[in-house]
A and B are shown apart, each in its own frame.
Chain A
Amino acid sequence: MNALAPLIVAVPMLTAALIAVAGRVVGARLAGVLALGATLGCAGLLVAVLVRLHGRIEPVWIGGWHPRDGVALGVSFTLDPLGVGLALFIAVLMALALVYGRGSLDPEPPHVHVLALVFLAGMVGFCLSGDLFNLFVFFELMSVSAFALTAIDVDEGAALEGSLNFAVTNTIGSFLAVIGIALVYARTGALNIAQAGHVFDHGHVDGLVAVALAFIACGFLVKAAVVPFHFWLADAYAVAPAAICIVLAGAMSELGVLGIVRVVFGVFGGPVAAHAEAVRTVLVVAGLATAVLGAVMAYAQDHLKRMLAFVTIGHVGLFLAGVAMLSSAGVGAIAVYVVADGCAKAALFACVGIVQRRLGHVSISALRGAGRDLRWTGAAFVLAAIVSIGLPATGPFLGKALLDDALIHGVGSWAVAIAVGASALTGAVLLSAASCVFLGRGRDEPGAPEYEPLTEPQPSTPVTMWAPVAVLLAAAIAIGVIPGVRHAAHVAGAQATAHGTIVHTVLGDTRAPAVHGSLPAPPAHDWLLSLLTVAIAFALAAYMLRHQRRPLHALRALHSGRVGDYVALLCAGAALFGGAFTLALH
């Protein structure tokens, strides 16, 4: 374990460096193969670690720096089932994206592969790390490569603006996090999550603790694109190539939520547990507000990828709401939901990428009916949409059902009502978009652009593009039926939220005991609720196709594309969260 864990990060990094050195000699094809190989190697190492972990928590001290006198000196990778499992999902997703990108990304010279591998290393390291500053550094690695990958399609003029907004807002989020980390270090003298948590358990909770929590959380909330930090995401996803969006939507946004988990249960576990009600309220309001806003803004979109970006934002809101329950069942539910929904969203983006390739356009109104020949793509898109709403027996259904149970126990059924509403609206938006593009339904919008391909339409879809769609759809559905998922989710949730165990294990340099049990299977009323949600989505979609889209001027004007506006709203959000957490931890 000591050897395996650092290799997980070292393999993609070393391969990236070697491709960069030998790139022109090696050529783009071989570079692509190497990149895929390194990604699969990383995934294999993660499988090995997950198997050896046996559902326990285990610290791995990099450089052999074990704690002395109860003070953690080195950087630890605190391996737990949630982190390792999420990292594995990300590696697999990256492998699929690399395959998908073979046809669509400009391969000469192999910069994309280098950046993709570094991006993978950043994300995977983030999942494994158990040290606050190390988390920040991996977070930055992930961010810098994401900025570059978003802008890589330099022919797309708007790519620069999207990437600029992405870079500026996320960097300010990281600065907030660094201030929070500095405050934690000042108070606890530690950067290790477990050690800081141990000190906060026994210390006095004052303004510094609350503000530190707020600022570090804001850094992660910017990445997760929670309201009001979400403005950058639609701009970035709209311009990034579809292969990159697969990883951004399926993996990167969720890491913001993982960051919140580490902060809330790891570093500030003691203070949060003592004020659980208040913290829960703050986070669940933020999560549900994000879910609603994502759904509403998705409704207003004409650009396919921007619409999917808002769908992503909506779902992240639901993830945050689940984590906000501050319970092991909540985090376990989100573990399932993130992976299953990630597959469905990735499939949606992959289908849009195929549409872009075959039809040369991404505007829904311009593409009306143009997708009639793309029957398989259309079918896949619709299936992915229905699966993501939570069709019973699929992965997202399981995640959603577990989430609803956690929400009812945590705050009440009003939260479930909002979650169902947001899901239904999001689903309806996807279904109506699919009907418009692939079936030609829908009203004539005045001022809709003519269908004129912006890029050269290709005559066929290569297998490297449709195979990942099939794999992702199959995975999204399978997660709901394969045995052991509920047990794995229970273990992941329990170990990630067990603050006392984490502290004891890391500082004592031992392994935590295994956890037994499983999350309950969704009872009948969850099946009914999901079918109801799907039905509402279809009904809403039919309504939307018959009637003009409401313009929503004020809300859309707020999403102006101007970085100055975004930063002002980010500051407002930071001040709000700061105030909210200060009141909550009072």
Chain B
Amino acid sequence: MTRSARMVVFAVSAAGLATLMAVAFAGLPSFGDYSGRYGRIIAQIAIPDRAATNAVTFTAFDVRGVDTMVEEFIVFAAAIAAVALLRHLRGEPEREARPGDVLRPLTSPAVRVMGAALVGPTVVIALNLVAHGAITPGGGFQGGVVLAAGAVILVAAGGRVRLPPDEPPLLAEIVHGAGAAGFVLLGLAGLVFAGAFLDTTWAGHGTPGMLLSAGSIPLLNVATGLEVSGALIVIAAEFLEQEMLAMEPESS
């Protein structure tokens, strides 16, 4: 199709879709009026049953834990995919600047200091988010992403990533596989010790609001945090390992 034909087809279809969505959304409860029982029951049982004060993490890692396990493996698969698709591009040799290349100057000392200063708090916040997932807002995914962001800050502040082809894997590659395996193993522990796969009660109840509570939910969060941070660092490393030319600073 020509571009204009394509736009016409789309415009007509979009009008149709808009009408359909309007019809559908008209049947939704008013904003703020939702009255489903599923969420209410979960909010009622979170503390008595599992001593988990974060109802969202309780839902994601306990009641609907298998959804999270599968989702974790989606992240895992994406990291493997990124490596599989991009590893052929690794190890491009350094070369002289050619006309038309954009030269990127080495980062200034200010940026490097800023980066170094930010990495520490970022990692601490990440670990905090992961560890307290069952208690306060946060969890394995959120903490994992922040940890990966810390790694990216390092690169943005002037680090360089070189991944030679066919070399031993990054620590991150092992960590993300270990996190994924860990989640499944914790699920199996639930099967062995408590009679159901992904049952979280075997690791004790604890007091609501303390770090060690909510059964094995904190452990699942740790596994997830490892997996997500590892996977995102792997993906980021693959993307960042590209040709980077550095312009020497003028000697002053």
Contacts and interface: CB of A to CB of B under 8 A. Distances in A.
A–B direct touch, CB within 8 Å, in complex? yes
Interface of A: 2-3, 6-7, 9-10, 13-14, 16-21, 23-24, 61-65, 68-69, 71, 73-75, 111-112, 114-115, 118, 121-122, 125, 133-134, 137-138, 140-141, 144-145, 147-148, 151-152, 154, 179, 183, 185-191, 206-212, 214, 557-558, 560, 562, 564-565, 567-569, 571-572, 574-576, 578-579, 582
19 contacts: A6-B66, A13-B69, A16-B76, A16-B180, A17-B73, A17-B177, A20-B180, A114-B80, A118-B76, A118-B80, A141-B73, A148-B78, A185-B36, A186-B29, A188-B36, A214-B20, A569-B9, A572-B10, A575-B16
Contacts, number: 225
A571 B77 contact: no
B190 interface: yes
Interface in B78-109: 78, 80-81, 83-85, 88
Contact of B24 (A21, A63, A64, A212): A212
Interface string B32-54: 00111110011000000000000
Contacts of B190: 63
B168 interface: yes
Contact of A208 (B12, B24, B42): B24
A153 to B, nearest CB: 10
Contacts of A154: 85, 88
Q: Mostly helix, strand, loop or mixed at chain B's interface?
A: helix
Given A18-B181, A20-B173, A111 B66 contact: no
Interface of B: 1, 3, 6-7, 9-10, 12-17, 20-21, 23-29, 34-38, 41-42, 62-67, 69-71, 73-74, 76-78, 80-81, 83-85, 88, 168-169, 173-174, 176-178, 180-181, 184-185, 187-188, 190-191, 194-200
Nearest to A187: B27
Nearest to B86: A154
Nearest to A111: B84
B32 to A, nearest CB: 13
A209 B168 CA distance: 54
A138 B1 contact: no
B13 A574 contact: yes
Contact of A75 (B13, B25, B66): B66
A186 B71 CA distance: 23
A572 B20 contact: no
A211 B20 contact: yes
Nearest to B88: A154
A572 B185 CA distance: 45
Which 5 A-B pairs rank lowest in CB-CB distance, beginning with the nearest?
A189-B36, A208-B27, A575-B16, A148-B81, A64-B196
Contacts of B29: 186
Given A21-B177, A63-B196, A73 B41 contact: yes
A220 to B, nearest CB: 17
Given A20-B177, A21-B177, A147-B81, A575 B13 contact: yes
A576 B19 CA distance: 12
A208 B28 contact: yes
Contact of B21 (A152, A211, A567): A211
Contacts of B36: 185-186, 188-190
A208 to B, nearest CB: 3
Contacts of B168: 24
Contact of A148 (B27, B37, B42, B85): B85
Q: Taking each of B28, B194, B196, which has the highest tally of chain A beta carbons within 10 Å of its own beta carbon?
A: B196
Contacts of A189: 35-38
Contact of B180 (A13, A144, A145): A13
Given A6-B191, A20-B173, A560-B1, A207 B23 contact: yes
Contacts of B24: 183, 207-208, 210-212
Given A10-B197, A208-B28, A575-B14, 16 more contacts: A3-B191, A20-B76, A24-B169, A62-B66, A69-B41, A71-B38, A71-B41, A115-B80, A118-B77, A134-B66, A144-B78, A145-B77, A183-B27, A186-B28, A564-B3, A579-B20
Contact of B194 (A61, A64, A141, A572): A64
Nearest to B18: A575
Secondary structure of the A side of the interface?
helix
A78 B86 CA distance: 39
A576 B171 CA distance: 50
Contacts of A112: 84
Contacts of B15: 575
Contacts of B169: 23-24
Nearest to B21: A211
A527 to B, nearest CB: 45
Contact of B85 (A68, A75, A151, A565): A151
Contacts of B13: 568, 571-572, 574-575
Contacts of B23: 207-208, 210-211, 582
Nearest to B81: A148
B187 A10 contact: yes
A71 B37 contact: yes
A138 B63 CA distance: 17
Contacts of B88: 154
A320 to B, nearest CB: 21
Given A17-B181, A24-B169, A186-B28, A141 B41 contact: no
Given A20-B80, A141-B73, A575-B13, A62 B177 contact: no
B38 A191 contact: yes
Contacts of A69: 41
B134 to A, nearest CB: 15
A186 B27 CA distance: 9
Contact of B184 (A13, A147, A185): A13
B197 A3 contact: yes
B67 A207 contact: no
A125 B70 contact: yes
Contacts of B12: 572, 575
Contacts of B20: 207, 211, 214, 575, 578-579, 582
Contact of A137 (B63, B70, B85, B200): B70
B198 A62 contact: yes
